[in-house]
Structure 1
Amino acid sequence: MYETKTTQEKLKLLMKIVLPILITQVAMYMVTFFDIYMTARYGTEDLAGVSIGSSFWVPVYIGLAGILMSITPIVAQLMGAKKKDGVKDAVQQGIYLAVILAAIVFAFFFFGIDWLLGFMDLEPAVNDVASRYIFAMSLGLVPLFAYNALRSYIDALGATRVTMFITLMSAPINVFFNYLLIFGNFGFPELGGPGAGMASAITYWLVLAIAAFIIHTNEPFKSFGIFRKWTRPSLSRWKEITGIGVPIGISIFAETSIFSAVTFMMSVYGTITIAAHQIALNFASLLYMLPLSISMGATILVGFEVGAKRASHAKQYSWLGVGAAVTLSVISSGILYFLREPIAGLYSSDPAVIGLAVQFLIFAALFQVSDAVQAPVQGALRGYKDVNITFIMALISYWVIGLPSGYLFATFTDLGAFGYWVGLIAGLTAGAITLSIRLLIIQKKLASH
């Protein structure tokens, strides 16, 4: 990374950083996307089971993995302040923490998932698929969390093309093992939905191996010696990482878990509604990779400029990110609205599922702009290391405004299941407004100093 002088130079650098992140995020998301897509082609019950399973898996994994995202602003600010000696220790401590977090999540799923599923009124076949899918996915927790730590380090150095290359390899690997294990091709066992979880776990181990090899053998990563002379685990460094990371993780968990909570609540509407809802959510989440990637790029660039004590440059990067995301959201909304029938048809041949998914996709199109504002604003705030107030705002927006209003619309109006999506729109809009106000306050405070 380097200092820029003009707005045009900043926009060019932002796009240079963001484009590889976008490709990386899409490739990472394609693991879940193809799990859902290929399972949908296998059967409706397996699709519903994987949908329920991923609704447990995604928020827990993303929330805890979000803690490791703190490595990005920590390393970015170290690089901006020209304190390269501290990078190795920060990354190594992040890897230690990744292994511990993976062990905690594995224990949670191993001992608790059947108990949690017991609270849901699921068909026995759907319950079985969800349980076995989550267990299979859990076998890949250690490599998945460790890769998140390494990826945060790579991205913080501005080498986002490297993570793009690594992650691009994950999608075809996952599709290949899905083909073998979901459908039982070439003599492999036909596992259905749980086979998608096993394929993902295998993919995570292979991706970690590729990332570790590149970091150990190629510059600029090799010179930092990340895998040489390991330091002892340090509680003080873990405190720094978690001090920034826990609020990030809770904020991400608050946002992602509300979608899972909606999926759980929709279980009362039956298997077809769950499947249709998941189709709309799955494709909308794919388009969300656009603002999310800009958010991650904003964290890197804002963090670099804050470390270099260039407050005005950090401010410019913040709002350039928001502008770019909002512009792209208009395209996303158009895709969801005008192509909703072909999109639904990609996932299922069941007319009932397709008809309902088409209606859900209309609501998905409506919350694209709110997503496009709140995501890059959160990314900028992480670059400033302002995370505590942010996660409180996220909790209020999604869980105090979004979910309760969704329940009210679903229960006391004729909207039914669609009422929950109206609640999602309300929560995301509230988050976009409050987080933008917080960003303005932080920038004003930093400029005054």
Structure 2
Amino acid sequence: MARSAPSRARRAEFAATLRLAGPLAAANVLQMLVYAIDVVFVARLGSEPLAAASLSTALFGLIAWSFSGLTGAVAPLISAELGRRRHAVREIRRSVRMALWLAMACAAVGMLVCAGGERLMLATGQAPRVSAQAGAFLAVLMLALPPIIAGNVLRTFVSAMGRPYFATAITALAIAVNTLGNLLFVFGYGGAPALGLVGSAVSSVLTAVVTLLAYVVAIRRDRRLRRYHLFGRLWRAEWSRLAELLRIGLPIAATILAEAGLFSGAAFLMGRIGEAQLAGHTVALQVAAFCFQIPFGVGQAATIRVGYHFGAGDRAGVARAGWAALAIGVGVMACTAGTMLLVPRSLVALYVDLADPANAAMIGFATQFMLVAAAFQLFDGIQAVAAGVLRGLQNTSVPMVIALFAYWVPGAAAAIGLGLFTPLAGLGVWLGLLISLVVAATLLLWRWAARERLGLVPA
């Protein structure tokens, strides 16, 4: 009986993590479909608009993802409060309110950066025509930042409160809205103006606004969630709670910036190598990013589950939640790696027409890059989930240092050196990405395994 109790607890934790991770991973995958729709529509406009969109979304995604990570620090705060006491209405409301404040401040900063998009493109050596199109695209797309970052705060709240399926349903709605928006504004269906590349940005803004409003409606209509009165007294400041969000969130944002910065910067390296390699890189990275959303969702669930046990002071619960999440993440990425190795061209066909001779060079590069992506799937899954479990312990500063080192010392050095100064060209850039993930996964997994010795868990 003594042995069966820990075994039952492990199985229960595994099931609880799956129940939370499943809807979150599904929402992440659906969110990638939202972005993929843009790629599919813009790809029909030609390689030059696709290159401009790729560079623009690389910059925009870097901004949106890092600031969402900063405001996403509300997740371990909410889960720890729930672990300490089941009904922590005022504490949770204050945390979410300050996260929404932070979201608006972050959006303002991000919009200022996007406003100088064309100058940034030219400064990195991109072609003038591509830079001009990218600047026009970003001038519209930046309006999506406030609803995207605020919507992420509300998504984090509903997930931590046990309603992760709201995120899945709302993201599915976003797919429908973005598809309709692209049809209307890119190609002018239904009598709408055919705006081309800029029309895709208009569709993205519309999708972000609808998504945010859907979260507001879901929270106000759910009996459990509306008792928190999240939208009452939004003007009231809670400076200590804001400081706590910044303490946890700034290292998370820097960690995301380090990783996403390297992967987004790879697009700029590819732009210097050639348009065909950049287009192939865009397609291959879409597939890799699509697969990454599953362990990313597991990592989000791990932050909530580990944070709950952390708040309750349950060391055994912390261990069960962390190892269960890591096992799930590794298992999933092993499957995605196998798929990339076995049918890379079938995956490329989801984005481009394999029969079109004009796409031959792009397809060749995309297939080549995807073989490297298959190699780093396991390491990408480990680092994503390991970062999530450490965030549940509210331990974010050292993981930030690990990320900065892994991505910008061995990773960036290898990507730049092999990509620009050897015949490997684009393949060398992807080998640099692989090296960065191997280093990050190894160091983050070691820190999680050494959590007791490092004093990261509650006494």
Q: TM-score, normalised by structure 1?
A: 0.96
Report whether the alignment pairs 1:362 with 2:371.
yes
Superposed, 1:183-222 pairs within 5 Å as 183-222=187-226
- Which residue type is aligned with residue 74 of structure 1? L
- Corresponding position: 1:77 with 2:86: no
User: What's the offset of the Cα at 1:106?
Assistant: 0.9
Worse-superposed segment, 383-392 or 114-123: 114-123
Match of 2:253 among 249, 258, 279: 249
Farther-moved stretch of structure 1 (432-441 vs 291-300):
432-441
In structure 1, what is the equivalent of residue 356 of structure 2?
none
Map 1:290-329 → 2, pairs under 5 A: 290-329=294-333
- CA pair 386-448 structure 1, distance change in 2 beyond 3 A: closer
State the distance in 1 between where 2:284 and 2:458 align.
Answer: 45
Deviation at 1:120, TM superposition (A): 3.4
CA, structure 1 residues 123+229, in 2 after alignment: closer, same or farther (shift >3 Å)? Answer: closer
Distance in 1 between residues matched to 2:369 and 2:99, nearest whole Å: 39
Shift of 1:247: 0.5
The Cα shift of 1:51 comes to 0.5
Q: Deviations over 1:111-139 (max 9, x none)?
A: x2122112133334322221122122111
Give the share of equivalent positions with the same residue, in percent.
27
Residue 107 of structure 1 pairs with residue 116 of structure 2: no
CA deviation after TM superposition for structure 1 residue 231, in Å: 5.2
Contact 2:251/2:396 (<8 A) preserved: yes
Alpha carbons 1:64, 1:101 under 8 Å: kept? yes
How far did residue 5 of structure 1 move?
5.2
Counting only pairs closer than 5 Å after superposition, residues 427-446 of structure 1 correspond to structure 2 as 427-444=436-453, 445-446=455-456
CA-to-partner distance for each residue in 1:221-271, whole Å, 9 max, x for gaps? 111111123351233222111110110111011111101111111112221
Query: Unaligned 5+ residue runs, structure 1?
Result: none
In the TM superposition, residue 384 of structure 1 has moved relative to its aligned partner by 0.2
Superposed displacement of residue 4, structure 1: 10
2:46 corresponds to which letter in structure 1?
A: G
Q: How does 1:37-436 map to 2 (within 5 A)?
A: 37-82=40-85, 83-110=88-115, 112-230=116-234, 232-349=236-353, 350-436=359-445
State the 1:9 CA deviation: 1.1
Query: Do 1:134 and 1:197's aligned partners in 2 also have CA atoms closer than 8 Å?
Result: yes
Specify the code of the residue in structure 2 equivalent to 1:239.
A
Q: Is the 8 A contact 1:170 1:207 kept in 2?
A: yes
Report deviation, 1:348: 2.5
Q: Distance in 1 between matches of 2:458 and 2:14?
A: 25
CA contact (8 A) 1:405 1:423 kept: yes
Q: CA deviation at 1:346?
A: 2.8
Which position in structure 2 is the counterpart of 1:29? 32
Name the aligned partner's letter for residue 105 of structure 1: G
User: Is the CA contact 2:122–2:128 (under 8 Å) kept in the aligned structure 1?
Assistant: no
Q: 8 Å contact 2:62–2:261 — kept in the other structure?
A: yes
Cα deviation 1:73-123 (Å, max 9, x = unaligned): 10110111113331111111111111111111112212x212211213333
Q: Tell me the SS of whatever aligns to 1:224.
A: coil
Give the letter for the 1:410 counterpart.
G
Following superposition, the deviation at residue 38 of structure 1 comes to: 1.8
Following superposition, the deviation at residue 25 of structure 1 comes to 0.8
The one-letter amino acid of 2:432's match is G
Give me the whole-angstrom Cα distance separating, in 2, the residues matched to 1:122 and 1:248. Answer: 30
User: For residues 340 and 167 of structure 1, what CA distance do their matches in structure 2 show?
Assistant: 27
SS of aligned partner of 1:6: helix
Determine the C-alpha separation between the residues in 2 that align with 1:171 and 1:48.
Answer: 23
The AA in structure 2 aligned to 1:108 is: V
Letter in 2 for 1:104: V
1:37-65 deviation per Cα after TM superposition (whole angstroms, max 9, x unaligned):
22112211111110011111111111111
Number of corresponding residues: 446
Q: Is the 8 A contact 1:299 1:379 kept in 2?
A: yes
Task: Tell me, in whole angstroms, the C-alpha distance in 2 between the residues paired with 1:170 and 1:431.
Answer: 33
Deviations 1:292-315 (A, max 9, x none): 011001000000011111111111
Would you say the 8 A contact 1:120–1:267 is kept in 2?
no
- For residues 412 and 125 of structure 1, the distance between their equivalents in structure 2, rounded to whole angstroms, comes to 26
Check 1:297–1:4 CA distance in 2 against 1; reply closer, same or farther (3 A cut). Answer: farther
CA contact (8 A) 2:24 2:167 kept: yes
Farther off after superposition, 368-377 or 188-197: 188-197
Greater shift, 362-371 or 162-171, is seen at: 162-171
Contact kept, 8 Å, 1:303 with 1:383, in 2: the verdict is: yes
- Is this contact kept in 2: 1:80–1:305, CA < 8 A? yes
Alignment of 1:12-23 (within 5 A): 12-23=15-26
Counterpart for residue 11 of structure 2:
8
Q: Which residue of 1 aligns with 2:3?
A: none
Asked if 1 retains the 8 angstrom alpha-carbon contact of 2:64 and 2:148, the reply is no
Structure 1 stretch displaced more, 353-362 or 118-127 = 118-127
Quote the offset at 1:447 in angstroms. 5.8
Q: Which amino acid aligns with 1:40?
A: A
Displacement, 1:32? Answer: 1.5
After TM superposition, the score normalised by the length of structure 2 is 0.94
Letter in 1 for 2:47: T
Deviations 1:160-181 (A, max 9, x none): 1122222221111111101111
